[in-house]
Chains A and B, each alone.
Chain A
Amino acid sequence: MAKTKLEELNTNIYDFKNADNYDYKIKKGLSKEIVEEISKQKNEPSWVLDIRLKALDAYNKLTMPTWGPNLDELNMDDIATYVKPKAKIESNWNDVPEDIKNTFDKLGIPKAEREYLAGVGAQYDSEVVYHSIKDELKKQGVIYTDFDSAIKEYPDLVKEYFTKCVPIFEHKFIALHYAVFSGGSFVYVPKGVKLEMPLQSYFRLNSPESGQFEHTLIIVDEGASLHFIEGCSAPKYNKVNLHAGCVELFVKDNAYLRYSTIENWSKNMMNLNTKKAILETNAKVDWISGSFGSHISMLYPMSILKGNNSSTEYTGISFAGKNQNLDTGFKVVHIGKNTSSVVSSRSISKNGGIATYRSLVRILPNATNSKCSVSCDGLMLDDISRSDTIPVNDVQNNQVSFSHEAKIGKISEKSIFYLMSRGLSEEDAKALIVRGFASPVSKQLPIEYAVEMNRLINLELEGCIG
């Protein structure tokens, strides 16, 4: 019997593209003039420009990473770092320009808002085009706005936290981010306020040969709780696009944050994203991460368990197909006593895709009575794909419980035969097994997103049986 061929998809529902119809697109490359021009276009205060220039300097001094996927294809001279869409921020969906509105309509964004979100933000290329939040949350003092507006409207709050979680010098691409950042979301949840419905920001990169560098800053104050959802997608172009966003999360005493991401980048995207959370006493952060698409991803969300009794869970899945190298994982630093982390990572690879789990667990000397358990599973759908696990564990005290478990497997012919004997086609059988494999992540998502993720899995698996 002939083997199943799972073909790459050339088109999918995310792949529609609008004309590159921008208001302003900065010339390609990276220089002091370009950074100054972005700042000027945004009409921002001088302290922000100072950060940008400091970051540019850092970018020029820092070296490329010496590990992980090869980034030679990325040439900053070919990337336009700022593309301003023909739109200004609206809080009424009907006022958003037609082509952009259609884009988000196709992605289901305004519909999602009506049904189950407390607030929505939508970014198109470099700028946010829509932001809204339910009135009752505003009254409770919740701030949810685009990052540029936050700089202008809440300068003290922004200054207090901006760059304090992810410093400018952390690595070359975060320096790049701070030099040219644009858009993103700012959230502040006041003490004791618990949001029952999630907030969602959606980032869409439409323009070819460009970059998206949104900055998301979230502060969940003492005893407050929030579920934040981030979605990303882009149509496919032949040239490299770059995404180097940054997420800074501050979770105060007894606060809770759930940060869910479904990324579905086009397969020409370099996704070099940085996300980090700092947790105070008894705080908890749950990361749920689904990474689909992109040509190369380097993505390692991080929790700093600073306060005693703080805890974090990471549940992530990535799906690497042909010409994809997804290098993802989780980093955690235990500083406080009685801190705990639970990491569950899954990867799927097919058609020569490379899925690597790269992790760091560091437990400092004072983090006594801490617990960490890591499990990672890789599922390879054929013999030409790869799945690797590269953990770094640095445990600096004896009073900890630490476990690491890694499994890599393949879909067996026996399983496929079994499922086919129940009436499922070979494709359906594979899709069911993969969906089951991904279920630890989809179970953590709101139902609409779980459905969305299953749809992405089916899209990835779709093909013909030859």
Chain B
Amino acid sequence: MEELLRIENLQTKVLDKQILKGLDLVINKGEVHVIMGPNGAGKSTLANTILSNPEYTKIAGKITFDGKDITNKKTDEIARMGIFMSFQTPEEIPGISVFNFLKTAKNKVTGKTIYGVDFKKEIEGYAQSLDMNPQLIGRDFNVGFSGGEKKKNEILQMLALSPKFVILDETDSGLDVDAIRVVSKGIDLYKNENNAVLVITHSTKILENLKVDHVHILIDGKIVKTGTMELAKEIEKNGYEAYKNGKD
């Protein structure tokens, strides 16, 4: 299997606090990985560190994507190389429509001029499969959107930009059962043997429609256990206590 992402000994601090304390992870093309962990374990920090969010400082380690060292690359370069992150709290952009934003972003990630008519049809198709009101496409980006609509808009962008690797940072949090099902369907629509998905979550609902390859438990900045879907189910039932204690 072809390797897509390799993370070695990743250590990250936020302000003066070290969050990631030597994280290793390898993701191959075609795989779905899940990261679970208690609040404050470093799940979102991992996502933000991969994307070089300037608020997160890498103090050690290496990230290789598609054979290239991206450890010190800037966020936009990483995005253009094909990594996409679905945000926990997506931003609003007043005055810019969802469609115009997608067109701009698609243009940036592909380096090609995007023609409106075909692209619009494509977007409308995705919106339909995500059960999104098609009028949202013409509205200002996320302005006045409900929490669920904002999350669906993240998945819409993922489909429109068709990246090589996707990180879903608690996309399911705050969503009702139906919305989670739709998001899960969106991931399934995106997924193929040439790309890969990393799902950060607290619950297994979002995973129901997905073929999960590996489940990792992240505690205190390190992956402490890796398993299959069974591990995720066990965590949902019993929580993280066993792993926390085991590591102390």
Report whether A432 and B94 are in contact in the complex, using a CB–CB cutoff of 8 Å: no
B183 part of interface (Cβ distance < 8 Å)? no
**8 Å CB contacts to B: which residues of A424-445?**
424-426, 428-429, 432-433, 435-440
Report whether B91 and A423 are in contact in the complex, using a CB–CB cutoff of 8 Å: no
Report whether B108 and A422 are in contact in the complex, using a CB–CB cutoff of 8 Å: yes
Which residues of chain A are within 8 angstroms of B78 by Cβ–Cβ distance? Answer: 421
A418-B54 contact, Cβ under 8 Å, with A423-B109, A426-B76: no
B114 part of interface (Cβ distance < 8 Å)? no
A448 part of interface (Cβ distance < 8 Å)? no
CB distance from A253 to the nearest CB of B (A): 36
B53 part of interface (Cβ distance < 8 Å)? yes
CB distance from B158 to the nearest CB of A (A): 10
A420 vs B52: C-alpha distance when bound (angstroms): 10
A72 part of interface (Cβ distance < 8 Å)? no
A415 part of interface (Cβ distance < 8 Å)? yes
Which residues of chain B are within 8 angstroms of A421 by Cβ–Cβ distance? Answer: 51, 75-76, 78-79, 84-85, 87
Report whether A420 and B87 are in contact in the complex, using a CB–CB cutoff of 8 Å: no
Report whether B75 and A420 are in contact in the complex, using a CB–CB cutoff of 8 Å: yes
Which residues of chain A are within 8 angstroms of B87 by Cβ–Cβ distance? Answer: 418, 421
CB distance from A456 to the nearest CB of B (A): 16
CB distance from B171 to the nearest CB of A (A): 14
Report whether A436 and B94 are in contact in the complex, using a CB–CB cutoff of 8 Å: yes
CB distance from B155 to the nearest CB of A (A): 14
Report whether A436 and B91 are in contact in the complex, using a CB–CB cutoff of 8 Å: no
Which residues of chain B are within 8 angstroms of A160 by Cβ–Cβ distance? Answer: none
Interface 1/0 per residue, B102-129 and A, CB below 8 Å: 0011001100000000000000000000
A419 vs B91: C-alpha distance when bound (angstroms): 9
A428 vs B105: C-alpha distance when bound (angstroms): 10
A418-B91 contact, Cβ under 8 Å, with A423-B109, A432-B104, A439-B96: yes
A440 vs B76: C-alpha distance when bound (angstroms): 28
Interface 1/0 per residue, B26-54 and A, CB below 8 Å: 00000000000000000000000001011
Which A-chain residue is minimally distant from B53 (CB atoms)? A417
Which residues of chain A are within 8 angstroms of B91 by Cβ–Cβ distance? Answer: 414-415, 418-419
Which residues of chain B are within 8 angstroms of A417 by Cβ–Cβ distance? Answer: 51, 53-55, 75
Looking at the complex, which one of B94, B96, B105 makes contact with A423 (CB distance below 8 Å)?
A: B105
A439 vs B139: C-alpha distance when bound (angstroms): 13
CB distance from A36 to the nearest CB of B (A): 52
CB distance from B208 to the nearest CB of A (A): 27
Looking at the complex, which one of B85, B94, B108 makes contact with A428 (CB distance below 8 Å)?
A: B108
Report whether B76 and A420 are in contact in the complex, using a CB–CB cutoff of 8 Å: yes
Report whether B54 and A436 are in contact in the complex, using a CB–CB cutoff of 8 Å: no
Which residues of chain B are within 8 angstroms of A1 by Cβ–Cβ distance? Answer: 54, 74
Q: What band does the interface of chain A fall in when counting residues whose beta carbon is under 8 Å from B? A: 20 to 34
CB distance from B102 to the nearest CB of A (A): 9
Which A-chain residue is minimally distant from B82 (CB atoms)? A423
Most chain A beta-carbon contacts within 10 A, residue among B78, B95, B96: B95
B157 part of interface (Cβ distance < 8 Å)? yes
Which residues of chain A are within 8 angstroms of B51 by Cβ–Cβ distance? Answer: 417, 421
A413 part of interface (Cβ distance < 8 Å)? yes
A420-B74 contact, Cβ under 8 Å, with A1-B54, A413-B55: yes
A413 vs B55: C-alpha distance when bound (angstroms): 9
B144 part of interface (Cβ distance < 8 Å)? no
Which residues of chain A are within 8 angstroms of B161 by Cβ–Cβ distance? Answer: 422-423
B80 part of interface (Cβ distance < 8 Å)? yes
A363 vs B153: C-alpha distance when bound (angstroms): 45
A338 vs B74: C-alpha distance when bound (angstroms): 57
Report whether A424 and B95 are in contact in the complex, using a CB–CB cutoff of 8 Å: no
Which residues of chain A are within 8 angstroms of B76 by Cβ–Cβ distance? Answer: 420-421, 423-426, 428-429
Which residues of chain A are within 8 angstroms of B104 by Cβ–Cβ distance? Answer: 424, 428, 432
Which residues of chain B are within 8 angstroms of A418 by Cβ–Cβ distance? Answer: 87, 90-91
Looking at the complex, which one of A413, A414, A425, A435 makes contact with B96 (CB distance below 8 Å)?
A: A435
Which residues of chain B are within 8 angstroms of A440 by Cβ–Cβ distance? Answer: 95
CB distance from B144 to the nearest CB of A (A): 14
CB distance from A197 to the nearest CB of B (A): 26
Which A-chain residue is minimally distant from B81 (CB atoms)? A423
Report whether B80 and A436 are in contact in the complex, using a CB–CB cutoff of 8 Å: no
**8 Å CB contacts to A: which residues of B160-191?**
161
Which residues of chain A are within 8 angstroms of B74 by Cβ–Cβ distance? Answer: 1, 420, 426
Report whether A423 and B140 are in contact in the complex, using a CB–CB cutoff of 8 Å: no
CB distance from A417 to the nearest CB of B (A): 5
Report whether B96 and A424 are in contact in the complex, using a CB–CB cutoff of 8 Å: no
Which residues of chain A are within 8 angstroms of B54 by Cβ–Cβ distance? Answer: 1, 413, 417
CB distance from B99 to the nearest CB of A (A): 13
Report whether A424 and B85 are in contact in the complex, using a CB–CB cutoff of 8 Å: no
A414 vs B109: C-alpha distance when bound (angstroms): 20
A355 vs B157: C-alpha distance when bound (angstroms): 36
Which residues of chain B are within 8 angstroms of A428 by Cβ–Cβ distance? Answer: 76, 104, 108
Looking at the complex, which one of B79, B84, B93, B108 makes contact with A433 (CB distance below 8 Å)?
A: B93
Looking at the complex, which one of B55, B79, B84, B95 makes contact with A420 (CB distance below 8 Å)?
A: B79
Most chain B beta-carbon contacts within 10 A, residue among A413, A423, A425: A423
**8 Å CB contacts to B: which residues of A219-248?**
none
A439 vs B141: C-alpha distance when bound (angstroms): 13
**8 Å CB contacts to B: which residues of A149-168?**
none
Report whether A423 and B95 are in contact in the complex, using a CB–CB cutoff of 8 Å: no
Which A-chain residue is minimally distant from B51 (CB atoms)? A421
List 23 A-B residue pairs with CB atoms under 8 Å apart, sorted by A's residue number.
A413-B54, A417-B51, A417-B53, A417-B55, A418-B87, A418-B90, A420-B76, A421-B79, A421-B85, A421-B87, A422-B79, A422-B101, A422-B108, A423-B80, A424-B105, A424-B108, A428-B76, A428-B108, A432-B93, A432-B104, A436-B95, A436-B140, A439-B96
**What 6 A-B pairs have minimum CB-CB distances, sorted nearest first?**
A436-B95, A439-B95, A423-B108, A420-B75, A423-B109, A436-B96
